[in-house]
């Protein structure tokens, strides 16, 4: 007998439908942006939707075809939001690029994704003018501003004005339906080996992720919320907030590039923000400013902190001094990014305060849509006893199966107890019997500073080019403010004695300033395996007590 099929509509999960929903059912709910130009701009979901429709028309007029990539170099703001929807909603692919990367990396990523259009904020004009000749695939450069702010002259031939291309359209466009597995967006993550790799999200994965993010044990978002994503829209789609906010019809407040304590505090208060999200370091400036000026929040209730381990002291300060609930979260670009969030279960209500706090300090429990396991090096699953630590693997509706352009490459997925299809996160974790996951280490060879990746391999390659360096290794060193900072360990060439200043100076101009190692250690030799592979874990152990300058 054949199975009885469901008889429901098979409406595809489309990003355009989320914005259409927001415009129809929360049309007057505001979207407020602190602009790059300095002022505050106000619109609402109906306004965003109309302009996103016009933008979709403008992209088509520029000759964009389904599947074409639209790159962005932009801060959090309404125009960026319109691009998210205007591109994905019209079957183009929104490719957010992290402007904090080194210029050569930005150009490399734009080329790898073969971006056809590049939209960028006003303050990135000098950068894009420098990079434009390298960006071979880009046919249209769009400056995200109005005519008044357009430069009198630019080295970019045919530079387009965002407001002009939007204004030229009539908005007579309706969001099309197509296969929900179509690519909607791409985010690059610094790989552990060599070049960054792209995670390609689909309409379906993005919508399911947005649904899950809104659930009570996740971000708990509703139409009553005023959401300010401090996490940038170029950092894994601001953790899905641009979609979740539209889905629930929440007010959205965008800080632009104004992320200093004073600007953020004023925006939180003026717009009555209730919920926010960001990496741990973004809160430092805000909390320091508030403490110095004896300020309190009047509306801010809860925040998700993730991307790097949230220091327990920061959690305590937010909870006890500022009455803000901290939801510690873990995820990664390859997971859209949400995986786990830390909230208490009702069975924990009677636990002593300290035990509750310990659970909240873990990276949390998975949300439905993602599953996880910890495994040993032979792929056998380990018990959830809060003690055994192993390689953390995940699978689910918004977890990648392969990287951009590598569909035919060997699959990155691994097996758990013989069952294939799990993505290895490169994190090492233990899992508490109640399902609370705790990151204990990282097996991937990268450094995470203030929520941003630094590729150790890239730094090592630069160091190795130094004439006095025989061998170089870069490892993560604990840092109280940035969580981790790079330490360069060098074996000099025989008879040479390079200085710290000389070695660090060598990185200037070769990598972004914030990626330059904090310190250098000169050693006689580095630990190797029998096959000659550098033993990074051993090296990290060796320098566990190393104090970085200023740390």
List, by residue number, the catalytic residues: 189, 334, 448, 453
Quick check: 449 binds ligand ADP (CB under 6 A)?
Answer: no
Closest distance of CB 442 from ligand ADP, Å: 5
Quick check: 128 binds ligand ADP (CB under 6 A)?
Answer: no
Contact 262, 287 (CB under 8 A): no
Quick check: 308 binds ligand ADP (CB under 6 A)?
Answer: yes
Scanning residues 362 to 421, which ones bind ligand ADP (CB under 6 A)? 363
Closest distance of CB 206 from ligand ADP, Å: 15
Quick check: 306 binds ligand ADP (CB under 6 A)?
Answer: yes
Distance separating alpha carbons of residues 310 and 279, to the nearest angstrom:
8
Q: Which of 34, 258, 448, 479 binds ligand ADP (CB under 6 A)?
A: 448
Would you call the peptide bond into 93 cis, given omega within 30 degrees of 0 as the criterion?
no
Per-residue tokens: 304: 């998700």
Quick check: 96 binds ligand ADP (CB under 6 A)?
Answer: no
Quick one: which of 495, 497, 370, 469 has its CA closest to 422?
370
Q: Which of 99, 451, 486, 492 binds ligand ADP (CB under 6 A)?
A: 451
Q: Which of 232, 261, 307, 486 binds ligand ADP (CB under 6 A)?
A: 307
Distance separating alpha carbons of residues 168 and 147, to the nearest angstrom:
13
- Of residues 88 and 362, the one with the C-beta less far from ligand ADP: 362
- Of residues 244 and 363, the one with the C-beta less far from ligand ADP: 363
Closest distance of CB 56 from ligand ADP, Å: 28
Per-residue tokens: 473: 């290794």
Rg of the chain in Å (alpha carbons): 24
Distance separating alpha carbons of residues 345 and 343, to the nearest angstrom:
7
Scanning residues 225 to 244, which ones bind ligand ADP (CB under 6 A)? 235-236
- Of residues 448 and 540, the one with the C-beta less far from ligand ADP: 448
Q: Which of 337, 390, 396, 517 binds ligand ADP (CB under 6 A)?
A: 337
| DSSP per-residue string spanning 224-245 | T-EEEE-S-TTTTGGGGHHHHH
Only one of the segments 115-123, 204-212, 301-309, 504-512 lies at the binding site for ligand ADP (rule: CB under 6 A); that segment is 301-309
Per-residue tokens: 396: 């689910």
- Of residues 274 and 425, the one with the C-beta less far from ligand ADP: 425
- Of residues 394 and 539, the one with the C-beta less far from ligand ADP: 394
Closest distance of CB 475 from ligand ADP, Å: 15
Closest distance of CB 212 from ligand ADP, Å: 15
Only one of the segments 9-17, 61-69, 146-154, 328-336 lies at the binding site for ligand ADP (rule: CB under 6 A); that segment is 328-336
Question: Residue 108's Cα: distance from chain center in Å?
Answer: 19
Closest distance of CB 329 from ligand ADP, Å: 6
Only one of the segments 142-150, 158-166, 221-229, 445-453 lies at the binding site for ligand ADP (rule: CB under 6 A); that segment is 445-453
- Of residues 50 and 437, the one with the C-beta less far from ligand ADP: 437
Q: Which of 96, 274, 333, 391 binds ligand ADP (CB under 6 A)?
A: 333
Quick check: 439 binds ligand ADP (CB under 6 A)?
Answer: yes
Only one of the segments 205-213, 283-291, 311-319, 329-337 lies at the binding site for ligand ADP (rule: CB under 6 A); that segment is 329-337
- Of residues 16 and 486, the one with the C-beta less far from ligand ADP: 486
Q: What are phi and psi of 159, to 5 degrees?
A: -55, 130
Only one of the segments 207-215, 290-298, 300-308, 397-405 lies at the binding site for ligand ADP (rule: CB under 6 A); that segment is 300-308
Q: Which of 330, 398, 423, 436 binds ligand ADP (CB under 6 A)?
A: 330
Distance separating alpha carbons of residues 146 and 316, to the nearest angstrom:
44
Ordered alpha helix ranges (H), 416-464:
456-464
Quick one: which of 87, 282, 161, 251 has its CA closest to 96?
87
- Of residues 50 and 360, the one with the C-beta less far from ligand ADP: 360
Quick check: 442 binds ligand ADP (CB under 6 A)?
Answer: yes
Only one of the segments 30-38, 216-224, 322-330, 454-462 lies at the binding site for ligand ADP (rule: CB under 6 A); that segment is 322-330
Closest distance of CB 35 from ligand ADP, Å: 25
Distance separating alpha carbons of residues 164 and 181, to the nearest angstrom:
32
Q: What are phi and psi of 339, to 5 degrees?
A: -125, -60
Scanning residues 186 to 225, which ones bind ligand ADP (CB under 6 A)? 189
| DSSP per-residue string spanning 5-45 | PP-S------HHHHHHHHHHHSTTSEEEEE-TTSSEEEEEH
Distance separating alpha carbons of residues 369 and 398, to the nearest angstrom:
7
Closest distance of CB 403 from ligand ADP, Å: 12
Place of tokens 């914030």: 514
Per-residue tokens: 317: 């300060």
Scanning residues 37 to 76, which ones bind ligand ADP (CB under 6 A)? none
Helix (H, G, I), strand (E, B) or coil at 210: helix
DSSP class of residue 320?
Answer: I
Contact 487, 546 (CB under 8 A): yes
How many residues bind ligand ADP (CB under 6 A)? The answer is 23
Distance separating alpha carbons of residues 83 and 75, to the nearest angstrom:
12
Q: Which of 71, 198, 311, 331 binds ligand ADP (CB under 6 A)?
A: 331
Which whole-number Å values give the CA distances from 470 to 14, 17, 474, 522, 538, in the listed order? 54, 57, 14, 11, 19
Ordered alpha helix ranges (H), 259-418:
261-270, 280-292, 312-316, 353-361
Helix (H, G, I), strand (E, B) or coil at 70: strand
Instruction: Give the footprint of ligand ADP on this chain (CB under 6 A).
Output: 189, 235-236, 306-309, 328-333, 337, 363, 425-427, 439, 442, 448, 451, 453
């Amino acid at each position: 007998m054949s199975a009885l099929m469901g008889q429901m509509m098979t409406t595809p999960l489309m990003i355009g439908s989320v914005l259409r929903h927001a415009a129809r059912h929360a049309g007057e709910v505001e979207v407020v942006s602190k602009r790059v130009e300095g002022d505050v701009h106000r619109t609402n979901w109906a306004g965003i939707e109309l302009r996103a429709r016009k933008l979709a028309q403008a992209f088509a007029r520029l000759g964009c075809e389904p599947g074409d990539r639209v790159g962005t170099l932009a801060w959090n703001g309404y125009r960026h939001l319109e691009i998210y929807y205007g591109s994905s909603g019209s079957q183009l692919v929104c490719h957010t690029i992290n402007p904090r990367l080194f210029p050569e990396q930005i150009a490399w990523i734009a080329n790898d994704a073969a971006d056809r259009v590049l939209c960028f904020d006003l303050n990135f004009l000098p950068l894009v003018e420098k990079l434009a000749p390298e960006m071979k695939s880009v046919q249209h450069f769009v400056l995200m501003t109005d005519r008044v702010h357009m430069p009198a002259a630019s080295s970019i031939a045919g530079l387009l004005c965002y407001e002009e291309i939007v204004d030229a359209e009539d908005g007579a466009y309706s969001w099309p339906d197509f296969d929900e597995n179509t690519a909607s967006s791409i985010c690059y993550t610094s790989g552990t080996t060599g070049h960054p790799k792209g995670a390609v999200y689909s309409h379906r994965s993005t919508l399911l992720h947005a649904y899950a993010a809104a659930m009570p044990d996740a971000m708990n978002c509703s139409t009553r919320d005023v959401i300010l994503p401090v996490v940038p829209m170029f950092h894994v789609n601001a953790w899905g907030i641009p979609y979740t906010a539209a889905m629930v019809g929440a007010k959205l407040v965008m800080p632009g590039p104004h992320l200093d304590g004073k600007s953020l505090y004023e925006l939180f208060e003026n717009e009555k923000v209730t919920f926010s999200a960001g990496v741990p370091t973004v809160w430092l400036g805000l909390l320091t400013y508030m403490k110095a000026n004896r300020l309190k929040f009047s509306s801010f209730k809860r925040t998700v902190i993730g991307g790097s381990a949230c220091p327990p002291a920061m959690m305590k300060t937010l909870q006890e001094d500022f009455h803000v609930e901290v939801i510690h979260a873990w995820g990664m670009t390859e997971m859209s990014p949400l995986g786990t969030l830390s909230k208490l279960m009702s069975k924990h209500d009677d636990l002593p305060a300290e035990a509750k706090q310990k659970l909240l300090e873990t990276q949390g429990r998975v949300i439905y849509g993602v599953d996880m396991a910890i495994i040993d090096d032979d792929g056998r699953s380990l018990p959830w006893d809060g003690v055994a630590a192993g390689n953390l693997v995940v699978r689910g509706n918004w977890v990648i199966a392969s990287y951009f352009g590598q569909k035919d490459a060997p699959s990155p997925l691994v097996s758990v107890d013989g069952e294939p299809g799990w993505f290895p996160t490169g994190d090492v974790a233990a899992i508490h019997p109640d399902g609370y996951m705790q990151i204990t280490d990282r097996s991937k060879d990268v450094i995470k500073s203030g929520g941003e990746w630094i590729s150790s391999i890239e730094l090592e390659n630069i160091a190795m080019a130094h004439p006095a360096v025989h061998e170089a290794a870069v490892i993560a060193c604990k840092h109280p403010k940035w969580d981790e900072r790079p330490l360069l360990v060098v074996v000099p060439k025989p008879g040479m004695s390079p200085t710290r200043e000389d070695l660090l100076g060598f990185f200037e101009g070769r990598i972004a300033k914030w990626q330059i190692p904090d310190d250098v250690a000169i050693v006689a030799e580095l630990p190797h395996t029998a096959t000659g592979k550098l033993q990074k874990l051993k090296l990290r152990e060796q320098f566990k007590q190393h104090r970085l300058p200023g740390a």
